[in-house]
Amino acid sequence: MSLNNILTNWSRYRKGAEEGGFHEYEHQWGMVVDLNKCIGCNACSVACYAENNLPVVGEKRCGKNQAMNWLRIERYWDEPDLEPYNATPSANIDAWIEGNPPAKKTELKPSMPSSYLPGLLEEGGQNFEQRVGFGGTKSEFQDFGASFLPMMCQQCHAATCEPVCPVAATYHTPDGLNAQVYNRCIGSRYCSNNCPYRLRYFNFWSYYEDAWPEPLHMQLNPDLSVRDKGVMEKCTFCIQRIRVAKDKAKMEDRKVIDGEFSTACVQTCPTGALVFGDMQNPDSQVSKLWSYHQVERGKTKQSKQNKELRGYRVLEGLNTDPSVLYLERVREV
């Protein structure tokens, strides 16, 4: 390695740090999640497991919050009659659904402060009092007050996980993605600690030996690796599919066409609640939805005036500039 090489690399590194990453993106992959259409079926999550070689960790480890669900459907309930930490909450709500509401509404504990999820609340209105979930009963239905929030890596443009990685294993790609280099990761887990959405998953165990017993190993996706213990991972917007599409477009000497490919979750969603595309392409469906809902990148507070527009980004107030736009669910009062 020549001295010249060191100096060049150093200056490139310095320049990158000063200018804050890439300015001229090749693409800016983004997503739109329409919560009106989401029925909480978890098909997207299952598709993600299949596409990205995610290990099924088993009940015990899942109970310890060591599951690897890159895309998770968060469930929230808005019944004021539920006491969140009661022993039999589901029995409680079932009774309520059958027409026996709890007797004393005044004795309820205060719910979480309405300021809890600023991004949600600003746009979401007074009914968005959040509750940590429990389920398995009728209360899973939206008609009875459940709300679903599919959460995948938000691919923030001002990602909080990127600057804290000691070895720069997570970085911003020219595609506007928040990439994770498994081979470079040393497992300090700082990125996950600094992710406000808690969307980074760590391989606490070695799964390749027991998560896919024969013949299940045949279902593994050959386009990407199986990660070993000690590595952080997260949703990549199915970067292997992006690669294939880009390579194909390059070989055919054209641009990537909108809708030519999509991520596994988008492909699978039965109601079409998820839309994926390139936000640099003004004709893409994603760009149109973003501009229709007057949500702009790089802003902490959106300047939209029309209250009818449903777009918001989760925890927008933190200025992480996520690439995923959520369209709020409209409900009858």
Q: Please, what is the minimum distance in Å from the beta carbon of residue 6 to other proteins?
A: 6
Listed in sequence order, the residues at least 6 apart from 260 whose beta carbon sits closer than 8 Å to its beta carbon are 245, 249
From residue 165, alpha-carbon distances to 131, 160, 231, 246, 261 in Å are 32, 10, 12, 28, 31
Q: Does 65 bind other proteins (CB under 8 A)?
A: yes
Residue in 69, 188, 186, 194 with CA at minimum distance from that of residue 178: 194
Phi and psi angles of residue 97, each rounded to the nearest 5 degrees, phi first: -65, -35
Whose Cβ is closer to other proteins: residue 71's or residue 289's?
71
Six token digits for residue 79: 């019944």
Q: Does 205 bind other proteins (CB under 8 A)?
A: yes
Six token digits for residue 243: 């690669």
Listed in sequence order, the residues at least 6 apart from 147 whose beta carbon sits closer than 8 Å to its beta carbon are 35, 75, 76, 77, 78, 128, 329
Neighbours of 195 (CB within 10 A): 21
Per-residue x/- track, 3-42, other proteins (CB under 8 A)? --xx--xx--x---x-------------------------
Whose Cβ is closer to other proteins: residue 35's or residue 286's?
35
Q: Please, what is the minimum distance in Å from the beta carbon of residue 69 to other proteins?
A: 10
Distance CA 293, CA 161 (A): 28
Residues contacting other proteins: total by CB under 8 A? 58
Applying CB under 8 A, which part among 29-37, 86-94, 246-254, 314-322 lies near other proteins?
Answer: 314-322
Interface of this chain with other proteins, residues 45 to 64, rule: CB under 8 A: 61, 64
Q: Please, what is the minimum distance in Å from the beta carbon of residue 38 to other proteins?
A: 15
Distance CA 203, CA 55 (A): 9
Interface of this chain with other proteins, residues 106 to 165, rule: CB under 8 A: 112-113, 115-117, 130, 132-133, 151, 160, 163-165
Applying CB under 8 A, which part among 66-74, 137-145, 218-226, 281-289 lies near other proteins?
Answer: 66-74
Contact 75, 40 (CB under 8 A): yes
Binding site for other proteins (CB under 8 A): 1, 5-6, 9-10, 13, 17, 61, 64-67, 72, 74, 76, 112-113, 115-117, 130, 132-133, 151, 160, 163-168, 184-190, 192-194, 196-199, 201-206, 229-232, 315, 318, 320
